[in-house]
Amino acid sequence: MNLRNIMLATITSVLTFGSTVAVSQDAYPDHTIEMTGPYSAGGGTDRLARFTASALSDELGVPINVVNRPGGGLFTGTLYFFNQAPDGYNIMFTPPTPYMVNHIENMGAPYKIDDFIYVNAQEVAQSLLMVSETSELQTLEDIIAGLREPGKLSAGVIAGSGEHISLLLMMKTLGIPAENLRLVTFDGGGPTRTALAGAQIDFGMVAGQGSEVIFDQVRKIAVFADEINPDWPEAVPVNEALAQFDVEIPILDSSVRSMVVRREFKEQYPERYETFVAAYRRAVESPEFQQAAEDGKFGAVWNGPEVSQEIVERNFNLLLEHSAILE
Amino acid sequence: MNFIDFPALHDSFGILTQSYIPWLMIVPGLLIGLAGGALPGISGTMILALMLPVTPYMDFFTAIVFLTSVFTGAGYGGAVPAILVNMPGSTAAVATTFDGFPMARSGKHNEALGLGLAASTIGTLISYLVLFVLINFVAKAVLKLGPVEMAVVAIWGISMIAMLRGGNVERGILAGVFGLLIGTIGISPIGRMRGTFGLPELIDGVAVVPAMIGILATAELFNLARSKYIIDNDAARIVSFPLILKGFRDVFGYWRTLSRGSLIGIFVGAIPGVGASVANLVSYAAARRSDPDPNSYGKGNPNGLVASEAANSSSEGGAMGTLLALGLPGGGGTAVLLAAFAMHNVTGGPRFIADHKDTVYAILISNMVQSLLLIVVGLLFIRMAVVIIKIQVRHLVPTVIVIAMAGSYAITGNLTGPITLAIFSVIGWVFARYDYAPAAAVVGLLLGRFVESQFVFSHQLSGGKLSFILERPIALIMIAIFLISLVYPWINARMRCRKTNEE
Question: Domain map of chain B by residue range?
Answer: 6-471, 472-503
What separation, in Å, do the N-terminal and C-terminal C-alpha atoms of chain B show?
Answer: 55
From CA B410, how far away is CA B216, in angstroms rounded?
Answer: 19
Query: Are residues A187 and B453 in contact, defined by beta-carbon separation less than 8 angstroms?
Result: yes
**Closest CA in chain A for residue B457:** A184
Quick one: pLDDT at residue B443? 84
Count how many domains chain A has. Answer: 2
**Inter-chain touch A197–B328, beta carbons under 8 Å:** yes
The CA-based angle A256-A293-A229, given to 5 degrees, is 55
- Residues A133, A232, single domain; the answer is yes
- Note the ipTM here: 0.77
If DSSP states are collapsed to H, E and C, what string results for B446-481?
HHHHHHHHHHHHHHHHHCCCHHHHHHCHHHHHHHHH
Chain B residues touching residue A41 (CB < 8 angstroms): 45-46, 49-50, 336
From CA B148, how far away is CA B157, in angstroms rounded?
Answer: 15
According to DSSP, the residues that pair with A220 across neighbouring strands are A130
**Inter-chain touch B453–A151, beta carbons under 8 Å:** no
CA distance A214 to chain B (A): 7
From CA A299, how far away is CA A126, in angstroms rounded?
Answer: 12
**Closest CA in chain A for residue B336:** A42
CA distance B40 to chain A (A): 17
Contact residues, B window 415-454, toward A, CB-based 8 Å cutoff: 453
Query: Are residues B370 and B72 in contact, defined by beta-carbon separation less than 8 angstroms?
Result: yes
Chain B residues touching residue A194 (CB < 8 angstroms): 143, 272-273, 326, 328
Sheet with A255-262, side-by-side order of all strands: A64-68, A33-37, A90-94, A255-262, A116-125
**Inter-chain touch B143–A296, beta carbons under 8 Å:** no
In a domain, A17, yes or no: no
| Gyration radius from chain B CA atoms | 22
- Residues A75, A106, single domain; the answer is yes
According to DSSP, the residues that pair with B386 across neighbouring strands are none
From CA B300, how far away is CA B230, in angstroms rounded?
Answer: 15
Closest Cβ opposite residue A42 in set B191, B335, B413:
B335
DSSP secondary structure letter of residue A139 = S
Q: In whole angstroms, how far apart are CA B52 and each of B151, B280, B339, B342?
A: 32, 27, 8, 11
DSSP secondary structure letter of residue A73 = T
Domain boundary among A190, A220, A245: A245
Average pLDDT of chain A, as a whole number: 87
**Inter-chain touch A76–B342, beta carbons under 8 Å:** no
CA distance A200 to chain B (A): 6
Listed residue (B152, B217, B268) closest to B432, CA to CA: B217
DSSP secondary structure letter of residue A253 = P
In a domain, A265, yes or no: yes
In a domain, A12, yes or no: no
Domain boundary among A224, A245, A266: A245
Contact residues, B window 69-128, toward A, CB-based 8 Å cutoff: none
Closest Cβ opposite residue B463 in set A50, A69, A151:
A151
B47 vs A319, more confident:
A319
Sheet with A218-224, side-by-side order of all strands: A182-186, A154-158, A203-207, A127-132, A218-224, A236-237
Q: Which of A79, A165, A194 to mutate to test the interface with B (most CBs of B within 10 A)?
A: A194
DSSP secondary structure letter of residue A32 = P
What separation, in Å, do the N-terminal and C-terminal C-alpha atoms of chain A show?
Answer: 70
Contact residues, B window 255-274, toward A, CB-based 8 Å cutoff: 272-273
Whether B10 contacts chain A with CB within 8 A: no
Domain boundary among A245, A276, A311: A245
According to DSSP, the residues that pair with A34 across neighbouring strands are A65, A90
Query: Are residues B127 and B371 in contact, defined by beta-carbon separation less than 8 angstroms?
Result: no
CA distance B347 to chain A (A): 6
**Closest CA in chain B for residue A201:** B461
Listed residue (A93, A36, A34, A97) closest to A65, CA to CA: A34
Chain B residues touching residue A43 (CB < 8 angstroms): 335, 339
At A147-176, the pLDDT tens digits run 999 999 999 998 888 899 999 999 999 999
In a domain, A169, yes or no: yes
Chain B residues touching residue A190 (CB < 8 angstroms): 272-273, 328-329, 335
Chain B residues touching residue A73 (CB < 8 angstroms): 187, 203
Chain B residues touching residue A203 (CB < 8 angstroms): none
Chain B residues touching residue A165 (CB < 8 angstroms): none
| Alpha carbons within 13 A on the beta-carbon side of B109 | 30
Contacts of B191 (CB under 8 A, 6+ apart): A159, A160, A185, A326
In a domain, A5, yes or no: no
Listed residue (B263, B309, B275) closest to B99, CA to CA: B309
- Residues A101, A162, single domain; the answer is no
Q: Distance from CA of residue B463 to its chain's centroid?
A: 33
* DSSP H or E stretch at residue A21: helix A3-23
Closest Cβ opposite residue A296 in set B342, B457, B463:
B342
Quick one: pLDDT at residue A22? 42
- Residues A106, A131, single domain; the answer is no
CA distance A43 to chain B (A): 7
CA distance A234 to chain B (A): 20
Closest Cβ opposite residue A154 in set B52, B144, B461:
B461
What is the percentage of chain A residues whose pLDDT exceeds 90?
A: 60
Q: Which of A184, A193, A212 to mutate to test the interface with B (most CBs of B within 10 A)?
A: A184
Is a pLDDT exceeding 70 seen at residue A10? Answer: no
Contact residues, B window 203-262, toward A, CB-based 8 Å cutoff: 203-204
In a domain, A18, yes or no: no
From CA B210, how far away is CA B404, in angstroms rounded?
Answer: 8
Query: Are residues B154 and B454 in contact, defined by beta-carbon separation less than 8 angstroms?
Result: yes
Residue numbers of chain B with a pLDDT score lower than 50 = none
Listed residue (A154, A163, A159, A158) closest to A201, CA to CA: A154
Contacts of B379 (CB under 8 A, 6+ apart): B114, B117, B241, B244, B245, B248
**Inter-chain touch B345–A191, beta carbons under 8 Å:** no
Quick one: pLDDT at residue B379? 93
The three-class DSSP label of residue B190 is coil
At B388-444, the pLDDT tens digits run 888 888 888 888 888 888 888 877 777 888 999 999 999 999 988 888 888 888 888
Judge residue B497's burial from the number of C-beta atoms within 10 Å of its C-beta, 0-12 exposed, 13-18 middle, 19 or more buried.
Answer: exposed
The CA-based angle B320-B323-B329, given to 5 degrees, is 105
Quick one: pLDDT at residue A91? 96
Lowest mean pLDDT across A111-125, A252-266, A275-289, B476-490: B476-490
Chain A residues touching residue B348 (CB < 8 angstroms): 213
Q: In terms of C-beta distances under 8 Å and separation of at least 24 residues, what long-range contacts does A285-292 make, across chains too?
A: A286/A55, A288/A55, A289/A51, A289/A55, A292/A51, A292/B56
Chain A residues touching residue B409 (CB < 8 angstroms): none
β-pairing verdict for A203-207 and A154-158: parallel
Q: In terms of C-beta distances under 8 Å and separation of at least 24 residues, what long-range contacts does A237-246 make, across chains too?
A: A238/A129, A238/A140, A238/A166, A238/A170, A241/A139, A241/A140, A241/A141, A242/A140, A242/A170, A242/A173, A242/A174, A244/A141, A245/A144, A245/A174
Quick one: pLDDT at residue B65? 92
From CA B221, how far away is CA B224, in angstroms rounded?
Answer: 5
**Inter-chain touch B190–A186, beta carbons under 8 Å:** no
CA distance B413 to chain A (A): 6
Can you tell me the mean pLDDT for A11-21?
45
Q: Hey, how many other C-beta atoms are within 10 angstroms of the C-beta on A226?
A: 11
CA distance A69 to chain B (A): 6
Whether B489 contacts chain A with CB within 8 A: no
Quick one: pLDDT at residue A212? 81
**Domain of residue A180, residue span:** 127-245
From CA B273, how far away is CA B474, in angstroms rounded?
Answer: 18
Whether B68 contacts chain A with CB within 8 A: no
Is a pLDDT exceeding 50 seen at residue A24? Answer: no
Q: Which of A35, A106, A182 to mutate to test the interface with B (most CBs of B within 10 A)?
A: A182
The CA-based angle B481-B482-B485, given to 5 degrees, is 85
**Closest CA in chain B for residue A37:** B413
Whether B466 contacts chain A with CB within 8 A: no
Q: Which of B67, B148, B343 to mutate to test the interface with A (most CBs of A within 10 A)?
A: B343
CA distance B437 to chain A (A): 29
Contacts of B343 (CB under 8 A, 6+ apart): A47, A295, A296, B52, B55, B56, B63
- Residues A98, A139, single domain; the answer is no
Judge residue A304's burial from the number of C-beta atoms within 10 Å of its C-beta, 0-12 exposed, 13-18 middle, 19 or more buried.
Answer: middle
At A185-206, the pLDDT tens digits run 987 787 888 889 889 999 999 9
**Closest CA in chain A for residue B459:** A184
Domain of residue A134, CATH code: 3.40.190.10
The three-class DSSP label of residue B341 is helix
Listed residue (A201, A235, A187, A238) closest to A215, CA to CA: A235
Judge residue B6's burial from the number of C-beta atoms within 10 Å of its C-beta, 0-12 exposed, 13-18 middle, 19 or more buried.
Answer: exposed
Domain of residue A313, CATH code: 3.40.190.150
From CA B156, how far away is CA B154, in angstroms rounded?
Answer: 5
CA distance B455 to chain A (A): 11
Judge residue A130's burial from the number of C-beta atoms within 10 Å of its C-beta, 0-12 exposed, 13-18 middle, 19 or more buried.
Answer: buried
Q: Which of A36, A50, A200, A326 to mutate to test the interface with B (most CBs of B within 10 A)?
A: A200
Q: What is the number of CB-based contacts under 8 A between chain A and chain B? A: 141
Quick one: pLDDT at residue A15? 45
CA distance A303 to chain B (A): 23
Query: Are residues B300 and B111 in contact, defined by beta-carbon separation less than 8 angstroms?
Result: no
Contacts of B48 (CB under 8 A, 6+ apart): A42, B67, B70, B71, B74, B332, B333, B336, B337
Chain B residues touching residue A55 (CB < 8 angstroms): none
Closest Cβ opposite residue A185 in set B201, B332, B460:
B460
| Gyration radius from chain A CA atoms | 23
- Residues A119, A158, single domain; the answer is no
In a domain, A70, yes or no: yes
Q: In whole angstroms, how far apart are CA B55 and each of A47, B91, B163?
A: 12, 26, 44
Can you tell me the mean pLDDT for A101-124?
91
Backbone region of residue B431 per phi and psi (left: phi > 0; alpha: psi in -120 to 50; beta: other values): alpha
Whether B199 contacts chain A with CB within 8 A: no
In a domain, A319, yes or no: yes
